[in-house]
C-alpha cells in the first residue's frame, strides 16, 4: 500500500525536562505525515475542507511508544491508508529515528467524515479513489 513520509529534526521546544520528546508531539508528527499522504495522492487536505465542506474529525487515536526521540534527532514520520469506507477512514503510522531506522512509535487514527455542521456524511465521490474507497 502506498505511503508518504516527512523528515524533520526534533526541536528543543518539543522535549520535556528529561530531554525526551513530549508524548503529544507524536500526534502532531502523525498529522504531518497524513497531510503529506493526501498531497502525494493528489489532493491537499485543506482543499477537501475548503472546496467541499468535508471535515475529517479524529474519533480515535492509538499511539504505542517504543523508544524515546530526543532533541536534534532526525525523524521520519510515515503514514498509510489502513482501512476505509464511505463514512470513516483509518490511517496507520510509523515514527522512526532516521539515522538508525529504529521504530520509535507506531499508531493509528480513525477519522469520520463530517459536514460543516458536524453531521456525519459520506465522502464525496471525487475523493473515493484518494481514500481507496470502493464505489
3-class SS letters over 98-118: CCCCCEEEEEEEEEEEECCCC
> Is 52 in the active site?
no
CA distance 45 to 39: 7
Catalytic choice (16, 47, 72, 115): 16
Going from the C-alpha of 60 to that of each of 2, 15, 32, 66, 125, the distances in angstroms are: 22, 25, 17, 20, 24
CATH of domain 3-127: 3.10.129.10
pTM reported for the whole predicted model = 0.92
Task: Provide the grid cell at 46.
Answer: 485543506
pLDDT band at 126 (very low <50, low <70, confident <90, very high): confident
Provide the terminal-to-terminal Cα distance of the chain, rounded to the nearest Å: 19
**Domain range annotation of the chain:** 3-127
* Contact between residue 41 and residue 2 where contact means Cβ atoms under 8 Å apart: yes
Instruction: Tell me the per-residue pLDDT of 26-73, one tens digit each, with 9 for 90 and over.
Output: 999 999 999 999 999 988 888 889 988 999 999 999 999 999 999 999
Amino acid at each position: 500500500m502506498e505511503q508518504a513520509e516527512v523528515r524533520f529534526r526534533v526541536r528543543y521546544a518539543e522535549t520535556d525536562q528529561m530531554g525526551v520528546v513530549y508524548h503529544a508531539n507524536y500526534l502532531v508528527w502523525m498529522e504531518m505525515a497524513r497531510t503529506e499522504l493526501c498531497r502525494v495522492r493528489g489532493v491537499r487536505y485543506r482543499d477537501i475542507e475548503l472546496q467541499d465542506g468535508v471535515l475529517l474529525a479524529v474519533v480515535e487515536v492509538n499511539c504505542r511508544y517504543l523508544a524515546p526521540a530526543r532533541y536534534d534527532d532526525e525523524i521520519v514520520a510515515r503514514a498509510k491508508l489502513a482501512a476505509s469506507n464511505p463514512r470513516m477512514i483509518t490511517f496507520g503510522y510509523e515514527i522512526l529515528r532516521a539515522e538508525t531506522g529504529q521504530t520509535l512509535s507506531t499508531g493509528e487514527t480513525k477519522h469520520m467524515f463530517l459536514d460543516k455542521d458536524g453531521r456525519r456524511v459520506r465522502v464525496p465521490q471525487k475523493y473515493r479513489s484518494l481514500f481507496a474507497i470502493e464505489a
